[in-house]
Amino acid sequence: MAGAKVTRMANHNDVHRAACGCGNVTLDISAPPLFRVVCHCSICKAFNNAPFADILVYRAGDVSNPEPGTVDFKAWRPPPNVQRGTCARCGKPAIEQFRSPLFPDLAMVPSANLEDEPPAVDAHIFYGSRIEDINDDVPKHSGYWRSQWAFGKLVFARRRDR
């Protein structure tokens, strides 16, 4: 996250790529992300084996499905709305898929996996669970409901922008 350039993937017709650390999992992405968020919740920290998760959120239809057998998916808590997938070879986070009857289907990709420079961070969520302070001007949301509300507002605000 430190030193990331603030650029947007502007051309909606370009195909962008993301890949896990070893390159076993590759994803084609056909549109810019809806937003970028840093999540400090315990599940994201455990899944990423890091102090936080830095993810890009896309419409599910804008991200190709990984090749069969390349990703091991797991639900970390019920209800299993989010399937978190790690590379079957290197074990690094590759993609998360969110499906819920009340929300649009989403795909979340670690920003480090993107071949292009990611856009600026839009929000920190579950900031009250942080391991370390983040000194930036990005909005920070603490607590379960406030963090969920902030995430939902970003999803629906950005869906209308297109």
Mean pLDDT per block of 10 residues along the chain (162 residues) reads 36 79 96 96 94 97 95 83 94 94 92 94 97 96 96 84 54
pLDDT given at position 159: 62
Q: Structural domains in the chain?
A: 33-160 (3.90.1590.10)
pLDDT given at position 77: 76
CA distance 8 to 135: 22
pLDDT given at position 7: 34
pLDDT given at position 5: 30
Bridge partners (DSSP) listed for residue 58: 107
- End-to-end, the C-alpha distance of the chain in Å comes to 26
pTM, whole model, 2 decimals?
0.87
pLDDT given at position 1: 41
pLDDT given at position 57: 97
